[in-house]
Chain A
């Protein structure tokens, strides 16, 4: 246990700056969204802007367009904005492929030549992924809270804490899901670039599959394969609770990925 904590502390120390910068950017983005939402609120222009949306976007959003085109809707965009999702999934992949990176540099030789069990390497990586996910989302939530308190118009209806927390939890599950997939790939790889690249390509393909399936009916039959199908923030914006099925699927993929990582890493040869 002591060795696990020593290694985890070392790994966290190495990524602390990355987490700090990224968390700050996410928090600032939340504040920015609140400024934008406040500005629209003051000019009472949500309906006008909503009308400007292209028809296919309106069709894609369905009835959620009303929830989306509102002060709480815009405030919550950060929790499902494409760039935020992309950045967080990319970071999850980078963190989850840490073992492959350590093998590549030869650092793993130094660690595992000590009385350090292999499963602790994966446990450390899971810890890092979970802590990083929690830290980043906490900074996003902090940005949202600070922004609302400091900059929201007095007449604006704030998103409920339940909604914001559900969106954050949904995003966290998506990050953990891709961490699990990337970790399983990274546990078998000798190069982080290979593992990360492969996980990234799979994530992109899965995203496109889900996106296409939302607009093109024939693709729906295979869309269930995409983890993004189980990330549905608009349902939450419409006032629905976080779907148990979505939580189960994303959580199961994450846990399966972590379990696969333990098995693969304990059996593989470590050579760089």
Chain B
């Protein structure tokens, strides 16, 4: 156990299950998060994302299995685990009669040590100056509360950040600032474990994706790999009307057929399609970038492999 916290993965989950009566929220989950990576934790509402996050923070107790943060068991050594973790909840539960500054100071005090300079940098980046922080939270907009939530999660510069829907309520400019912030902490070797519904964000920020469905991990892969799994949209334009029904190779599907344009969805290599098209009056071919959503939605719906 001497190596705890040094060469252990930031998050290690083994056979983790959580049941509420007959309902299984998380089922035999195994997951490792590597140091320095940004892992997107995806799933529909009720898939078990928040339950898993709450078990990591020892807010919920697992029915079986265990989870560890940098080798510290989240239940038995929860204090050690949480000392190096920053958490942004999905909804910031703060009293509206407090000022933003009071919340940050209180949580910094509970954290132990917080660099004032780093907090100022965060405030500047997220455009939440002291003058705003001195106001009562009842005067804050949803976006301002989100920014406050981000600052409180990041302010102790923890080795692991667990973020639940981090950009919910942020305007596009602030989303950009957040992405830059994540990139910066990642560069410094910090690990980010974030749940999100915004797939474009996941595609942009995350190194890997873990997807939960009905409490089970159904996909764990790098963003690049997932993108490779995505079917490509191909538009074929003809010089003259083509009335024959396309006899498509295996893995190819028609999306829309017009006399002068076919829209196809293609899995795998383009070779067989090119062979098929060679006898047709093709004017142009347009291949769309594979979209992450196309794969993930299939997994969400339970039709993914």
Cα-based distance from A102 to B106 in the complex (angstroms): 15
**Contact in complex: A271, B94 (CB < 8 Å):** no
B276 part of interface (Cβ distance < 8 Å): no
22 A–B pairs (Cβ distance < 8 Å), ordered by A: A6-B109, A105-B95, A106-B89, A106-B94, A107-B93, A107-B95, A109-B89, A110-B107, A112-B58, A112-B59, A113-B57, A113-B82, A113-B85, A114-B110, A114-B111, A115-B111, A116-B110, A267-B61, A269-B60, A271-B54, A271-B59, A272-B93
A114 to chain B: which residues have CB within 8 Å? 82, 107, 110-111
B289 within 8 A of A: no
Question: How far is B110's CA from A10's CA once the two chains are assembled, in angstroms?
Answer: 11
Q: Which of A99-156 contact B (CB under 8 A)?
A: 102, 105-117
Type the 1/0 row for A218-242, where 1 means its CB is closer than 8 Å to any CB of B: 0000000000000000000000000
Residue B219 is within 8 A (CB to CB) of chain A in the complex? no
CA distance A108 to B95 in the complex (A): 11
The answer to whether residues A115 and B54 also contact, given A109-B59, A271-B60 and a CB cut-off of 8 A, is no
B111 x A270 contact (CB < 8 A): no
Within 8 A of A (CB), among B44-82: 54, 57-61, 79-80, 82
CB-based contact A105/B93 at 8 Å: yes
In contact, A269 and B59 (Cβ under 8 angstroms): yes
Whether A217 is near chain B, meaning CB under 8 Å from some CB there, is: no
Q: Across the interface, which residues of B come within 8 angstroms of A117, CB to CB?
A: 79
Smallest Cβ-Cβ distance to B96: which chain A residue:
A105
Q: How large is the interface on B (under 10, 10 to 19, 20 to 34, 35 or more residues)?
A: 20 to 34
Q: What residues on B are CB-neighbors of A108 within 8 Å?
A: 59, 93
Contact at B87–A113, with CB atoms within 8 Å? yes
Judge whether B270 is part of the interface by a CB distance below 8 angstroms.
no
B206 to chain A, nearest CB (A): 22
Known pairs A105-B93, A110-B94, A267-B61 / 5 extra A-B pairs, C-beta < 8 Å: A106-B92, A107-B93, A110-B89, A113-B85, A272-B93
Mask, A27-57, CB within 8 Å of B = 1, is 0000000000000000000000000000000
A7 to B85, CA, bound (A): 19
Tell whether B12 is near chain A: CB-to-CB under 8 Å.
no
Please, what's the 1-or-0 string for B195-233, where 1 marks a CB less than 8 Å from any CB in chain A? 000000000000000000000000000000000000000
Q: Is there a chain B Cβ closer than 8 Å to A81's Cβ? A: no
**In the complex, B17 has a CB within 8 A of chain A:** no
Q: From B61, B82, B93, B152, give the contact of A115 (CB < 8 A).
A: B82
Instruction: Point out the residues of chain B lying under 8 angstroms from A115, CB to CB.
Output: 79-80, 82-83, 110-112
**In the bound complex, what is the Cα–Cα distance between A117 and B110 (angstroms)?**
11
Q: In the docked arrangement, what's the CA distance between A155 and B92, Å?
A: 62
Least CB distance, B95 to chain A, in whole angstroms: 7
Structural contact, B59 and A270, CB atoms closer than 8 A? yes
Contact with B along A78-115 (1 / 0, CB 8 A): 00000000000000000000000010011111111111
- Nearest CB of chain B from residue A17's CB, rounded to whole Å: 10
Most buried by B among A7, A108, A110, A270: A110
Is A16's beta carbon under 8 Å from chain B? Answer: no
Q: Does A157 belong to the interface (CB within 8 Å)?
A: no
Interface assignment of B91: CB less than 8 Å from any CB of chain A:
yes
Residues on B with beta carbons closer than 8 Å to the beta carbon of A112: 57-59, 82
Q: Which residues on A sit within 8 Å (CB–CB) of B106?
A: 6-7, 10
Determine the chain B residues whose CB is within 8 A of the CB of A105 once the complex forms.
93-95
Question: B87: which A residues are within 8 A, CB to CB?
Answer: 109-110, 113
| Complex: chain A residue closest to B80, CB-CB | A115
A97 to chain B: closest CB distance in Å? 15
